[in-house]
Amino acid sequence: MEDKFFNASIYDAQAKEYAQNCRTDHMQYLPDMEIIDSDLLERVTAARNNCQWQQYTIMEVKRALAKGKRSIEDFKALLSPAALECLEEIAAAAQRERKRYFGNSVNIFTPLYLANYCENYCVYCGFNCHNKIQRAKLTNEQMEQEMQTIASTGMQEILLLTGESRKMSDIEYIGAACRMAAKYFKVVGLEIYPVNSDEYRYLHRCGADYVTVFQETYNSVKYEQLHLAGHKRIFPYRFYAQERALRGGMRGVGFAALLGLDDFRSDALATGLHAYLLQRKYPHAEISISCPRLRPIINNDKIEPLDVHERQLLQIVCAYRLFLPFAAIVVSSRECARVRDNLMLLAANKISAGVSTGIGSHGKEHLGDEQFEIADTRSLQEIHADLQERGLQPVMAEYVYV
């Protein structure tokens, strides 16, 4: 069957050739992977597969907008093609919810890339193990220097990232980074390869309290075609990462689909449902959703997010806000300053600043290459000033580790 959502910009010759080779079963857990008793994957997949986007009309969209509390059906209507025609009204409704739940505050954080070694072959990602880039991993000393530099700007929340290599960035290494980060920052989050719940518990004790895992796409068939090798290939293990993190004692979890890999409406629906169902199961969990679109990478500057234009991005972000008004919504530096600042005013409430996706980039020495090209290079001071100019209140941290 023809793939209506095939994104040709992602595949280079090497990926095409590799994809022809024998591929392992991506639904089969590997021996070291914890299996938890949960039915969320079946529920999210069923909802994603059964959604008929064309059945929603402007009438359903307006009904959803008029409600105080929106159902899953309302969420679908807001994500439907029909809803694009009422984007202005959707934005107005999203802004009301944003204001009601978060006032004018915007939370600020910065990512720190600890290492870019990776054992996965995700064809769209700059860190993939076949991409010829400069690899590096921060030593403890370099890590401390990077953290000192970042902390000196006034930053209070840090997101620690690694490429997905257990061998090069093992749990003890990440744990040491968490302990160090807890000295310099009030809030420590993680975006690393998925691990078992006992390992999340260990990292929580080291000072981390938030775990973000992007599912990339919730279409398991497409997922298999994009993640050709490595642990990441195991679709259900990745899907249950947030649930394992909560069982390991983490306070909050983040979700995202990488928009442009597959049908973005279905992936946005699945992302929202994944977050919604998990919060219902673990009511104390703090929920956060990111809205990344595909970006160019080193050795492939042609990558683009296909039909996810700015209008569609705004529609998705607003639909997330209207369905999950209490969730944090992050817009990363994949988007330009104009888009980010306007999204903060309308629906999102969390932004990164002073971003570099390379290794060692906050110090004098560039040690390793970037994961993707960023579109907003503003420093913390610049973003702080720009937000204030728009009447928004930057918040550096709102948290206490207990």
Residues that bind another protein (CB under 8 A): 99-105, 154, 156, 186, 279, 283-287, 326, 384, 393-400, 402
Q: Of 169 and 288, which CB lies nearer to another protein in the complex structure?
A: 288
Q: Rounded to an integer, what is the distance from CA 282 to the centroid of its chain?
A: 20
Q: Of 6 and 326, which CB lies nearer to another protein in the complex structure?
A: 326
Q: Of 179 and 186, which CB lies nearer to another protein in the complex structure?
A: 186
Residue with tokens 């442009």: 260
CB 282 within 8 A of CB 246: yes
Burial class (CB in 10 A: 0-12, 13-18, 19+), 261: buried
Read off the amino acid at residue 351. Answer: I
Q: Of 98 and 233, which CB lies nearer to another protein in the complex structure?
A: 98
In the complex, least distance from residue 306 CB atom to another protein, rounded to whole angstroms: 33
CB 180 within 8 A of CB 221: no
Q: Of 166 and 251, which CB lies nearer to another protein in the complex structure?
A: 251
Rounded CA gap, 156 and 401, in Å? 13
171: CB partners within 8 A, 6+ apart:
195, 199, 202, 203
Residue with tokens 């234009």: 309
In the complex, least distance from residue 383 CB atom to another protein, rounded to whole angstroms: 11
CB atoms within 10 A of CB 197: 19
In the complex, least distance from residue 100 CB atom to another protein, rounded to whole angstroms: 6
Q: Of 178 and 285, which CB lies nearer to another protein in the complex structure?
A: 285
In the complex, least distance from residue 142 CB atom to another protein, rounded to whole angstroms: 25
In the complex, least distance from residue 212 CB atom to another protein, rounded to whole angstroms: 16
Q: Classify 342 as helix, strand or coil.
A: helix
Half-sphere exposure of 217 (CA within 13 A, CB side): 26
In the complex, least distance from residue 279 CB atom to another protein, rounded to whole angstroms: 6
